[in-house]
Structure 1
């Protein structure tokens, strides 16, 4: 199935700014509210179901014999028509 990017934003921010954005997402999830992403004139509003799939991925990109770029990706995923379900072991973040 082809992927359609509904919204994308990327910029350098300090850790406190990133934490505030993640906190806002967490608060909206706790409250059962929609999540609206905005950057400039672009925006999208999504309504995660009660049980979306939550994926966390840590990656290193670059040459095998040298320094690369590290990333942590957080993703919520669900089917548009049925709400979503997850499987696997329980995730913990310390």
Structure 2
């Protein structure tokens, strides 16, 4: 299935600014609200189901013999037609 990018934003921000955005997402998830992403004129609103799949990935990109770029990715996934109810193993974040 081809991927369609509905929204993308990539900006350098302070750790505090990133934490604030993640808190807003967490608060909306807690409250069962939709999540709206906006950057300039681009905007998309998504309504995660009660039990989406939560994927966390830590990566290093670049040549194996030299320092690369590190990343942490947090992703919520669900089927558009029937919500989500998947996953394996219990995740902990410290």
Q: Same fold (TM over 0.5)?
A: yes
Paired position in structure 2 for 1:78: 78
Query: What CA distance in whole angstroms lies between the structure 2 residues aligned with 1:75 and 1:42?
Result: 20
Paired position in structure 1 for 2:90: 90
Following TM superposition, the consecutive aligned residue runs of length 4 or more in structure 1 with deviations greater than 3 angstroms are none
C-alpha RMSD over aligned residues: 0.4
User: 8 Å contact 2:52–2:78 — kept in the other structure?
Assistant: yes
Paired position in structure 2 for 1:40: 40
Q: Helix, strand or coil for the counterpart of 2:72?
A: strand
**Which structure 1 segments of 5+ residues have no match?**
none
**Which structure 2 segments of 5+ residues have no match?**
none
User: Deviation per CA, 1:18-47, whole angstroms, max 9, x where unpaired?
Assistant: 000000000000000000000000000000
Map 1:23-38 → 2, pairs under 5 A: 23-38=23-38
Paired position in structure 2 for 1:67: 67
Query: What CA distance in whole angstroms lies between the structure 2 residues aligned with 1:8 and 1:87?
Result: 25
Query: What CA distance in whole angstroms lies between the structure 2 residues aligned with 1:45 and 1:67?
Result: 37
Structure 2 length normalisation: TM-score? 0.99
Deviation for aligned residue 1:86: 1.4
